Structure 1
């Protein structure tokens, strides 16, 4: 792909030197002027999996992390190293296009940086001759005009300006497009025109779609990274391999802290503290949060104040902001408050306003136009990004154009919550910023918070806002807003904004309101966030009731209320212990119902074995269970539903929508005594025929209305090549020898069937009726070994 005229070795070396210099350093953990760390020294391997996650989770990314922390490695799930991104997979000799997904701050960009550095230093992937990393945030800055592909490449890499790329050369080029979620260009793969010549001019979006499709430089390798919600912009037929960065495992968290702290005693104290607060330790799955926690906790230890370690997310972010505000003052040697060494409070407030105004738009990346729309001029933004480098960054693109961003979405949400609370406080405290807060334009959901005159009104509006968003996009914002309202945290805010004064805020009404909402049984995922909110408000009453309950012997336990069941789900999710075996019947009669199961659904998702025998469930519960089976975060492998006589055919039909889903990994399904008829067999046959079928053991015994026609329908699934069933139980159903003939025919039709055990203990079956199956059992060409 490169015209080789002696320039290739020289250009490659210049490019490697440039990339090595650019990517060998990262920002230091504890901010110091001019301080940076060697990436090689502090890099910690991440947990990266290979394989498609079919559904994109629309949950708030922190919620995804909380669920992922409980997810177990699934059978067949393959982990890979960042160096092997382009390594072939079974069935594909050449991997040209790779999509790497992961939530914000999970380590995608650092993995890219390490990949580039290893290549530039000659340590890995030397079969690539030219590695060209182009972040989408810089592509956004290109002018709206037409470029040839060569002009596009030269635009970013002047080192290649003497080279001519074509489609018929032998040298390998790899592009890395980092941050698809930050792209502001629409990649229309369906309607963009096709171009095949590198000399043909086109708009940037057309160049990108043709490069990814393979119309331009068809042998070039392409690595795209993206937050999950944006990954679908690239069609599946334009992706050869999917990987997912899941952040740090528990062992990798500890390795990270050990690499970044020289003092072993400090390291031990920090790890012990984080482990003692589960919500903080779970957040450490996100490398950016590890860095934040390290910044805060090392600073506190250095000051000899280990007793003041933060115990909640809100406290962690308050400390983080205070530490960097002090750093600003020291770095720029400006006049500050003599008690706190903190200055330039307008910078914090301006960033809060920006965070607030952009949160509802979902923007993590800002450009000068966005800042002007939020009331910040370019000079002001540059000053703030210069002094708040660990909170708000400015990155220079080509031609000195600027890109601004908060270091992580959670910091943006924290500052937005801070802005809302300070806006509320100014109404009851004589503010030193009387002209700073102004009436926000528009009538957005977030802006409605600014009209509240009483704290409980503000909180109730925010709770309603969070519950209304079924995907939880305001969950973390709500946690921060409530945590910042706590009296003890208000006092900490005096360190950040001392002249604002302390405003005592009573949160008792808010606690009562949240408990009322928990009783009303909202979406179970939103309910879990309400317990996080109670934690932020230092109310542990419901969780303590559950802990007392769990300490009792089973025979001494009284029924749990529905609110307590939700608290139980939260306690189990936050526990260090994996939930291997969950039995709903262990928690009283209220639990044995559709409502009880709904409350415990988050626990169902993280359990390998779920026992729901005799729980009076209806088809409504099957809809919930199907949703759990479809979930990316589901660990469910064995499901027992025996004795739910109201479940019926409609329930099995709903459940089968989960069984057919590619995310489903269920291996055992027990449906004894569920009042099933032949109709259920049609739904189950479709599930067994599904390309993603994973069911190994199916028990349909004691369904008296299930007859020969049902078995005939079920046999269409058994004879399908996708069927993985090994054991089928049909005891005490309404079967005759006709069913045996149907089953035998299906197994002979599917010579690859793994079915080895059939249990047909049925009163009406004679020996002559069983003969077709007995003959199959005697035939060594077939796998059927057990016939009862």
Structure 2
């Protein structure tokens, strides 16, 4: 090399002779000093080099810096090395020339790369007809690759989680903790600076191993990958090697343009360390590589049987300096370990991340509208969305959707169910990945079904080799199973699993259908009986859903065409009776407060959705017209299922969707169902102004409504639209989140109250602040109307607010600190300063009140909630109020001073009937304070309620309430009325025993 050499040539030299340089460079620190002085390496890198104990270790650290710096840093390193160790550089250069080594890659023929570009630029898909293909770059999506072996609990977490939770787990895998990597980094130095010349890339069926191999070949030929590392990359497909006969040398097995033969031979002879062999699909090999070592060839030109030649390559008897990348299913990993030469880098393709799934859909469709529509359709189904981490599932879904888009038809019915996609997946793998198993498809499915059923009975997702071998013949070749080694103390155990729990559930349902009719009916009867028993068998519910999916006419026809199964009339009759029985039970128990009842109701809807028999669904849905799904967190999948089922109802008399975690996205799905409701109770969060328009349109007119829209922040104009729209309905209880109140809003508010007073029970306007004004209006002694406003008064004119306050007969004002139960409430000692967390007062009649002074005090409390500083001001403000009826106080700690203040308050306000005192979060009720309350002089007509936690230890031994598991603390409810005193104690209380506060409805439970 001369002094005018390019930085690229220098970088190639450094990369090529890295192993020799690591062992032979002695002047490491002088070279590192110069690189640091020239800002070529960072201080941290220099420190790592300096800290290494030996020269080879120092060089490994230095090479990390060189790789991160690129060609320029490598070129500077080589120049510095020439100055410090010229003999070493000269020796390496001479050794290369003596071997006739080409000086740079410009001397290498481009014909081979041109040949590879033509061979690998396109790809044929499973359903491609002759001459059909797609561009690889248009379809390839980067998979998630990790290099860390997972523990049993981590694998179970992956297998059991679903939907968003599953992809959150996948995000955790895509991290440094799991040594997440990319294809371009597979041959990078490890943490010790060593480069492994053999990499095993494993993965389950359909995760994209072969696709990735083809992408590597294409990107290398186009100069996008490994250009500085490898002069030649060869691809050997094991499926093609199975067809090789006679005696073959490695050169005979390679796929290359014959015009490049001389160049290839030259590189293999002179620079084997610049060659990568990619052996794709090791698990598909029909022949064994267990060949005696002394019979293996030593060069790529010796002809032997194909298995001997391939064994020589993988065992590194041929071209031992070359690099090797082997892809395989995890089920064949143990056989590969027996023949591959150590050391080896292991990497695993997990499939797609959530972002990868969306990217695949975007790449598949030419039109953005189609890709988004297909992706949204899949994302609504949690089970299907989870399965999309497998690339072949994505391909199946996109292929069917594309057919519908091309034909200009709506999404086909069979595609909407989870079962239909699972059936297509099984059919695809049986056709393309099971041809050489020597077993019929029916035999394979029967074995998998038995294994899956056994696992579901025992709630097991990981299986040992013995239990798998009892049901599945040659499990290492079955593409639906995953195989891995699990450490057990000082030994290893071979374990199996299905790709995901959902596949295990599907194969269990399928196994029943593969039995004889009489046995199948008995199995289904037993399954349905277990499900009827209740929660302890809830893990079996997905199996029943898949049974309904298999009973789907389109899915059943697909299975019959494949000669897998035929759904008997007896099973179909059982399923119909079962689902109608579930529905009838729900009809009887619809008023019961039981989560399992409600969840079974939702489960029944999912079964009807999978069945997709419109006439039967209509019959089932019309047996009842009231639906109460309160407290059931609805997913997007649930919402689509409800939409389908509700559209078969002629009328919905009553629909209750409170505390269901409904968002704007979910409510859009349900809008068609809302149109059919006569009475609707709905709570929905995070609505934008535009979302409210869609909701109002769907509501139409004349409905009985209870709406909780507090967790929104509508503009004043949109609030006015809502208030006007409500005049066309029969509103009962309405809560609306607002930004402010203007005079126009106040006018429309009072207009609604006057127009709807016969039906209206309560209405609230809530801002995302912490002051709440609530007024109860008594209309002719019949209706109690609550008007609430939570506001930053800077956005609201007092005159506008007075338009609401003035006509009330009963007024309740509530202040709540923004962190009622949070860290601000935590006191570090038993005698810390008390803070006021919330206050609620009730005034009767039509009080004349200095509202501005009250709100100023409330805002002061928001900024500085210390009780001692404001209690006198609060008492002074309230003592003259003859209309003061109730007061509720939420404090961080009950001290003696606080107790004295409470008694003063009861004495200062002659009409006060009740004081509710709640000690929140870590606060404790001390015995001396409770004694003070008991001994105090209280007005006989004023009731004092105290709720909180009390420590049974002496005061000098109590450390304060730090967590909810302290066994020395009791949940206490005290009732002091006149001279009477009652106490309710819950020993070893749990967190749910604290004062019951509902942030959504802005309500506290007052202990009676």
Q: Which TM class, normalised by the smaller chain length?
A: 0.3 to 0.5
Compute the TM-score of the two structures, normalised by the length of structure 2. Answer: 0.35
* Structure (1 or 2) with the larger CA radius of gyration: 2
Higher RCO structure (Cα 8 Å, ≥6 apart): 1
Larger proportion of strand: 2
